[in-house]
Structure 1
Amino acid sequence: MIITGDDSEYITFVKARLRDQFLMTDLGPLRYFLWIEVSSTSDGFYISQEKYIQDLLSRAALGDERTVETPMELNVKLQPTDGDPLSDPMRYHHLVGSLVYLVVIRPNISYPVHILSQFVSAPSTVHYSHLLRVLRYLHGTITHRLFFPRSSSLQLQCYSDATWASDPSDRRSLSTYCVFLGGSLIAWKTKKQTAVFRSSVEAELRDMALLTAEVTWLRWLLADFGSL
């Protein structure tokens, strides 16, 4: 159980009451939870998954120390028919599934992981080569972390973008967005749009509608917390 708040006396009281009812151990301040590493400084909190990435790279057995500067090449459009079918698709399934969990705190790989996850039913040698590129990118950026400052405004700032007919197999577009609360990145997503649109304007409007729904929910949540 994780107890949060800034009233140390009340936190101590809650933990004491819980110990009266349940067998539990106080592990102290949060440092490691579900492969997520948390470090606290006087300026704020850092969240990373360095140990998780190290374990993932060990299981992937890349065979060398090469790194790349970007997780995916520019303007790549993968198709189900690219390359030859993998003789052992389970390896691809396992690595992509591990990357999906890593997206929880690594928004910079959200786009390539979204693309690669579309081919888990029948991965090919080409898809696997792009998967290895993502792993090499992680190898070179293993120390990257998310930072949440202690002192920050409660103003929501949002950014969004959309492709148009970027998937060559079904001509559907992709929506992407990220939301900041002050200086903290709190939400992000890459999602294929549900319909085929006739122009980039339609795709962008659909993207803005998706982001508006997310921001509306966040405003309600902040209002429940008494922050708005």
Structure 2
Amino acid sequence: MDVKNAFLNGDLKEEIYMKLPPGMSMIAAHEVCKLRRSLYGLKQAPRAWFEKFRNTLLTFSFTQSQYDSSLFFHKTTTGMVFLLVYVDDIIITGNDNGLITKLQNMLSSTFKMKDLGHLTYFLGLQVHYGDHGFLLNQHKYIHNLIELAGLQNANDADTPMEVNVKYRKDEGELLPDPFLYRQLVGRLIYLTITRPNISYAIHIVSKFMHSPRHLHLAAVRRIVRYLIGSPTRGLFFPKQSTLHLTAYSDADWAGCPDTRKSITRWCVFLGDALISWKCKKQESVSKSSTEAEYRAMSTACSEIVWLRGLLSELGFPSSDPTPLRGDNTSVIQIAANPVYHERTKHIEVDCHYIREAFTRGVITLPHLITDLQVADVFTKALTRQRHKFLNSKLMLIDLPASI
């Protein structure tokens, strides 16, 4: 559903005055308007609209999630209904059709809304349904991106980034106009919603937004050329998937050639479906690969705790610990060992959050051989064979396919 003129529905708590709009005659000098409702352009408008929408749902016996403020849900004896809102775009789903109809009628009577029907397109994401599950991709978005880059007739690339190539901030000649570079990278960042396999490449090129160079633009064009060969690829969510969380964590020690900071990488699966991932440079320099991987594992642990809380709130509590798989035995020993020793004294206290989670039984730390480390795709450029293998592990498939 789509709300028409959403920000005009917000109620203002502050006294706000504005100049008379053009074309409105003044009766007295220095006359102004006192606003009774919010307008587009006010800083308070988004907050006022969301507060009005939130209060409306709460009066209809919906509950706002403690883990995601944009998610609302209502449990009945016959099922559950979920509502997800992004500014003025709303998704409603559930297995209580009667409550869904009542909710739609209530919202339509309170706000001016348009029912867009069955979900097929949302914020640039296309939804494809099948007998075995559904697929999320951004086919139209990729097509527009290729046109923006001017690569409609270019050959496709096997991988998003060349292997063993390190890009530095001062290498090569500066671009005379960085506008196109920034525009392409900005759009590529949004594309990672359904294309996690390009997250590492986007992470690299986004570091040079301030002063991009010709080599950096060539790297961006290679990413676009990679998309040419797989424009319909997206994330597949199978219907028969279980509700058990599994996580993978890894790090690229001193991976940034300019700062020597390490790169955190992790991904979380709900059954067979990939639902969360991260590729991010760490905030401080790690003195060893063990420390870098320990930090990455601690960050992944925070995501696991959040997801477990969200699932429990929605009625799917997990009694078993969530496996957090890593390929560094030293990290596993440090997290499982309560003894404070020489190797960990320089690691910040917040990193030991993972040790507490392990002790409480929230996670387990099974060792994983490097060849099966799914998180590899988020921290390094891979060969064609390795990249293809990990794509299948991430449940990335192309259309047309039997979904």
- Is the TM value for this pair above 0.5? yes
Looking at structure 1, the residues matched to 208 and 112 of structure 2 have their Cα atoms a distance apart, in angstroms, of 45
Deviation at 1:24, TM superposition (A): 1.9
Structure 1 ranges of 4+ moved more than 6 A: none
Indicate yes or no: 2:126 matched with 1:33.
Answer: no
Looking at structure 2, the residues matched to 181 and 17 of structure 1 have their Cα atoms a distance apart, in angstroms, of 33
Aligned equivalent of 1:48, options 132, 137, 148: 137
Looking at structure 2, the residues matched to 222 and 4 of structure 1 have their Cα atoms a distance apart, in angstroms, of 16
Per the alignment, residue 160 of structure 1 pairs with: 249
Deviation at 1:63, TM superposition (A): 5.7
DSSP-derived class of the 1:53 partner: helix
Write the letter of the residue equivalent to 2:215: V
Q: Could you give the per-residue CA deviations for residues 33-78 of structure 1, whole angstroms, max 9, x where no partner exists? A: 1111011222211100000000010111026330111101112211
Per the alignment, residue 200 of structure 1 pairs with: 289
Looking at structure 1, the residues matched to 316 and 148 of structure 2 have their Cα atoms a distance apart, in angstroms, of 43
TM-score normalised by length of structure 2: 0.55
Deviation at 1:25, TM superposition (A): 2.3
Alignment of 1:36-185 (within 5 A): 36-62=125-151, 64-185=153-274
DSSP-derived class of the 2:113 partner: coil
Of 7-16 and 172-181, more deviation after overlay is shown by 7-16
Indicate conservation of the 8 Å contact 2:168/2:257, yes or no. Answer: yes
Of 90-99 and 193-202, more deviation after overlay is shown by 193-202
Looking at structure 1, the residues matched to 152 and 117 of structure 2 have their Cα atoms a distance apart, in angstroms, of 39
RMSD (Å), alpha carbons: 1.1
Higher Cα Rg, which structure? 2
Looking at structure 2, the residues matched to 116 and 171 of structure 1 have their Cα atoms a distance apart, in angstroms, of 16
Structure with the greater relative contact order (CA < 8 A, sep ≥ 6): 1 or 2? 1
Indicate yes or no: 2:99 matched with 1:10.
Answer: yes
Q: Could you give the per-residue CA deviations for residues 147-178 of structure 1, whole angstroms, max 9, x where no partner exists? A: 11222211101112111111111110101111
Q: 1:20 to 1:63 in 2, by over 3 A?
A: closer
Q: Could you give the per-residue CA deviations for residues 103-129 of structure 1, whole angstroms, max 9, x where no partner exists? A: 111100100101100000000001011
Looking at structure 2, the residues matched to 192 and 198 of structure 1 have their Cα atoms a distance apart, in angstroms, of 15
Indicate conservation of the 8 Å contact 2:126/2:136, yes or no. Answer: yes
Write the letter of the residue equivalent to 1:152: S
Looking at structure 1, the residues matched to 210 and 257 of structure 2 have their Cα atoms a distance apart, in angstroms, of 18
Looking at structure 2, the residues matched to 149 and 203 of structure 1 have their Cα atoms a distance apart, in angstroms, of 34
Write the letter of the residue equivalent to 2:127: V
TM-score normalised by length of structure 1: 0.97
Per the alignment, residue 190 of structure 1 pairs with: 279
DSSP-derived class of the 1:2 partner: strand
| Percent of residue pairs bearing the same amino acid type | 46
Of 47-56 and 24-33, more deviation after overlay is shown by 24-33
Looking at structure 2, the residues matched to 19 and 196 of structure 1 have their Cα atoms a distance apart, in angstroms, of 53
